[in-house]
Chains A and B, each alone.
Chain A
Amino acid sequence: MQIDRRLLIHFDWTLLGIVLAIASIGILNLYSATAKTEMAGTPLYLKQIFWVLMGLAVMVTIAFIEYRFYSDFAYIVYTAALFLLIVVLGYGMITSGAQRWVKIGSLSFQPSEFVKISLILALAKFFRRPPQPKGYLLKQLLLPLLLLFVPMGLILKQPDLGTAIILLLVFFSILIFVKIRWSSLLTIGLAGAAVVPLLWGFLKEYQKKRIFTFFNPDLDPLGAGYHLIQSKIAVGSGGILGKGFMKGTQCKLGFLPEQQTDFIFSALGEQWGMVGSLFVVGLYLALILWGLRIAVQAKDRFGAIVAFGVAAMLFWHVFINIGMVLGMMPVVGIPLPLLSYGGSFIISTLIGVGLLLNVSMRRYLF
């Protein structure tokens, strides 16, 4: 494939810089958070380096393919991701009580991660055609709602509440972005509110418990509330300057469960304190605002919606994860982009960044 020279000129080095900075901090942080935990096999930070490198390769590939191609294949990608989800439900192996992984050869990955990207692509394709001046009507939203609910239902069945919530939030973010009639939004909102008690029944016992204990962590300080309390202690004990690199007692001594995945931010806060936390939070803010800028500067609606969808996905991940670590939100199991350990999630995040780069460097091309 011939690569247009203008693409290299307009390559978004700022975005790449921010992403590489976060990913590097992520690897360093993972190194310190898991250094003392005895685990068989390759150390986690090395695996993470591998995933980041692989993700960067995928990202560059994604970035240089003309995104009209994604537009053409959006529904096919979506269907493929859905198929993988069904495979997971059928043959998925069970890890930590949830069927989320599919194994191909020696690699196992979570299809639900790719569903997020494929939903963004599918929605972008659908909303590519502009609405009436007052926005989309409810009946025009039947297909997008179907696009959301099928994978969301399957993911809830796994059960993976976190990813399902992300799908829902990304979906509504895109609806607002592409301009939906307020009356339609209200209708969907009310219908959704009516469904919540129904969904409550779908939740597993441990998920309900997590939500209860969010409102009162002392209810069960050694059980479900343990994560929340220990995580707040870890972050808070960092103070302004932190305890220092590799000196976090909370994570080093194993008081933080899932410290390498969902609670990685508490390891950061403990070691680097307010200063380090704000630096990383600032990088995320820059990443998201940059993504929004790419969205509004995109040359067409598909590109804009894809870029916005990715920015929204990153935003919700960051906001909910940090909010959860800081005890502002229930523990719902949403990882932190580029900081949390997890191959599929790194790859899907970097695919998203690849799409951002893609849209960004083609903003001047017609």
Chain B
Amino acid sequence: MMELNSQRMEDFKGRYKYLVAFVGLAFFLIFIRLWSLQVFKGSELRRLSENNCIRLRENPADRGMLLDRKGRILAHNRPSFEVYLVPEDLKTNPEVVIKIAEMLHVTQDEIGEKIKAQKRRAPFKPVKIKSDIDWNELALLESYRVHLPGLIVDVRPRRAYDYGDLASHLIGYLGEIDENELKQSRETPYRMGALIGKYGVEYEWENDLRGVDGGRQIEVDALGREIRPLGIVEPFPGSNLFLTIDLDLQKTAEEAYQGKNGALVAMDPKTGRILAMVSKPSFEPDIFARNILPEEWKALLENPHHPLQNKGIQGQYPAGSVFKIITAIAGLESGLITPNTALTCTGTFPYGNRDFRCWKDRGHGSISLHRAIVESCDIYFYQVGLKVGPDLIARYANEFGLGRVTGISLPHEKSGIVPSSSWKKKRFGVPWYSGETLSYSVGQGYLNTTPLQLLMLISGVANGGWLYEPQVVEKVENIYGKTLKEYSPVELGRANVSEKTLQIVQEALRGAVNDPHGTGGTCALKDVKVAGKTGTAQVVRLPENFKKGDMNRMPLKFRDHAWFVAYAPFEDPKIAIAVLVEHGGFGATAAAPIAKKVIEKYLNLEPSPSLKMEEKQIEVDYAD
């Protein structure tokens, strides 16, 4: 037996080298794998292991403040208390959710949904349950804190706008950063969920306002418990912006609207600095700072009056009679009319197969250019328009910056439309009809302008043809009060119009406010001479038998828009203003009084009663 045994042992010996080879191969595989993990991927996995145990707790920087030109605070930051829960801790203490739901006046389901919504959350990363809780809730949470494991209350700076919806379109609003913005901001890293300027100055000056976020690196264990801090980077607050607007003037302008819709822009004609910018209806920027509710967002979007639009730069309207300034300049500059050219207005102007009418049914009789502007005679300008043609009109409109964006540093500015024969050919493929020149010469038809563009026009007329870039920010200061950027006035150029022509127009505009039959008499002031022009922008074409008084019986959305542009004082212009009242009817009644209040305020004048007499009112009330 033993003999046989040892004999067959040779088999085992023969197998030895294969077994060694097999074991050797297996260990070689282990060696290769160790090499690949520890040498080849070593540094990457080292980084991952650090990511595992190093958490970054952000400490967002205070956003820069927005101040008016005199340094009064329009937007700043206040502490907001945010409630977070760590879902992992809730598993062992499910009763915490019940207690917190009760204390914060939310339902348990809402909390559950918020936790579920965070799908790709790192383990132990807290989920925000409610932001900006009030003091009572905070006190309640803090006093029960020991019984609420998994609860984190964090304090964050929160944007605050002290004057509600004041200048909301200029200031703009914040919103949570979206994926596109995250991708685009490569050199300035944002974290997910960061608030970023989305509109207005908050958007355009985002880089100055945001500051540098700080944070703490802390080592945590697998349960997310903090072990020790590794490093702290203090946040650096964003820079403060001094806006060009004046808080008092802005308030006056906002109040002057009294529930009307429209836009007002006022600027210093010698610098281009915007003094007030109103767009109505407005919105509360605050609701964006606290993450707007879907209902609120829907309400804003579906509001037929477009509260989210800054109508001063985004609203496009026919210029109405304000455009007669351009028609007059085109006529004078081309030499086709002189100041003395007298044309006759009989109240109706038959052209083609249609009767074009003047706003004044009785007609103005034979009048000169001055009176035509002062009394805003339509038929006079029909005839001037026919003399100069659409292309010359377009040329002088372009000279004053109509038909293109002004370059104001605010998002979504519209360019408007200045039609010409080539424009129409290109756009519609049909030639210009001379009948269209008639409506064009009084600012109707294809023409579209923004209130800011008409402000540029009136400001250019006021200061001898110079066009300045409209500015909304005067300077940027860091928190130590050091000026980082200063925006000095930028000349865009001078409208190629002679001094003489401008003088004639200026005189006529002064007359429109101050002469006995001037259409802008509702803006006349006692101590200061104002120059201005009224206008009415048609929303729908009116029937030929339309009576002036019928306008008030029209449905609101079909009523005309009222314009008024002006500057003052006449001798040394300090403020230029464009006022649009949507569906306000006539410029003289709806828009000019608003301009008057703002000019009075800016020039520190006593509010003066209307100068015009009763019998005149009926006439000018309907003036175009």
In the complex, which of the residues B11, B34, B39, B53 contacts A253, with contact meaning CB atoms closer than 8 Å? B53
Stretch at the interface among A101-109, A116-124, A229-237: A229-237
A285 lies within 8 A of chain B by Cβ: yes
Given the contacts A254-B221, A285-B27, A235 and B52 also touching, CB distance less than 8 Å: no
Given the contacts A235-B37, A237-B49, A239-B38, A254 and B9 also touching, CB distance less than 8 Å: no
Q: How far apart are the CA atoms of A278 and B30 in the complex, in Å?
A: 9
In the complex, which of the residues B9, B15, B44, B48 contacts A298, with contact meaning CB atoms closer than 8 Å? B9
Interface size on A, residues (CB 8 A): 48
Contact with A along B203-237 (1 / 0, CB 8 A): 00000000000000001111100010000000000
Given the contacts A233-B45, A235-B37, A277-B38, A255 and B31 also touching, CB distance less than 8 Å: no
Given the contacts A235-B34, A296-B13, A249 and B223 also touching, CB distance less than 8 Å: no
Stretch at the interface among B16-24, B287-295, B304-312: B16-24
Given the contacts A235-B38, A273-B38, A295-B12, A249 and B52 also touching, CB distance less than 8 Å: yes
Chain A to chain B contacts (Cβ below 8 Å), 8 pairs? A236-B49, A237-B45, A239-B38, A240-B42, A292-B23, A300-B9, A326-B34, A327-B33
CB closest chain-A residue, reference B52: A255
B46 lies within 8 A of chain A by Cβ: yes
- Is B23's CB under 8 angstroms from A253's CB? no
- Which residues of A lie under 8 Å from residue B34 when comparing CB positions? 235, 269, 274, 277-278, 281, 326
| Contact surface of A with B, Cβ cutoff 8 Å | 130, 177, 179, 222, 230, 232-240, 249-250, 253-255, 269-270, 273-274, 277-278, 281, 284-285, 288-289, 292-293, 295-296, 298-301, 304, 308, 315, 319, 322-323, 326-328, 366
In the complex, which of the residues B38, B53, B222 contacts A274, with contact meaning CB atoms closer than 8 Å? B38
- Which residues of B lie under 8 Å from residue A240 when comparing CB positions? 38-39, 42
Q: How far apart are the CA atoms of A179 and B10 in the complex, in Å?
A: 12
Q: How far apart are the CA atoms of A185 and B584 in the complex, in Å?
A: 99
A-contacting residues, B19-69, CB 8 Å: 19-20, 23-24, 26-27, 29-31, 33-35, 37-39, 41-46, 48-50, 52-53
- Which residues of B lie under 8 Å from residue A298 when comparing CB positions? 9, 12
Find the residue from B35, B39, B222 having the highest chain A CB count within 10 A.
B222
- Which residues of B lie under 8 Å from residue A239 when comparing CB positions? 38-39, 42-43, 46
B2 lies within 8 A of chain A by Cβ: yes
- Which residues of B lie under 8 Å from residue A295 when comparing CB positions? 12
Interface size on B, residues (CB 8 A): 44
Given the contacts A232-B37, A233-B48, A304 and B123 also touching, CB distance less than 8 Å: no
Given the contacts A249-B53, A253-B222, A328-B33, A296 and B27 also touching, CB distance less than 8 Å: no
- Is B30's CB under 8 angstroms from A319's CB? yes
Instruction: List the 10 closest pairs (A to B, CB-CB), nearest first.
Output: A236-B45, A237-B49, A254-B222, A253-B221, A130-B8, A239-B42, A236-B37, A237-B46, A274-B38, A255-B222
CB closest chain-B residue, reference A173: B19
- Which residues of B lie under 8 Å from residue A278 when comparing CB positions? 31, 34
- Which residues of B lie under 8 Å from residue A293 when comparing CB positions? 16
In the complex, which of the residues A179, A328, A366 contacts B11, with contact meaning CB atoms closer than 8 Å? A179
In the complex, which of the residues B2, B13, B23, B30 contacts A323, with contact meaning CB atoms closer than 8 Å? B30
Find the residue from B12, B19, B37, B50 having the highest chain A CB count within 10 A.
B37
B5 lies within 8 A of chain A by Cβ: yes
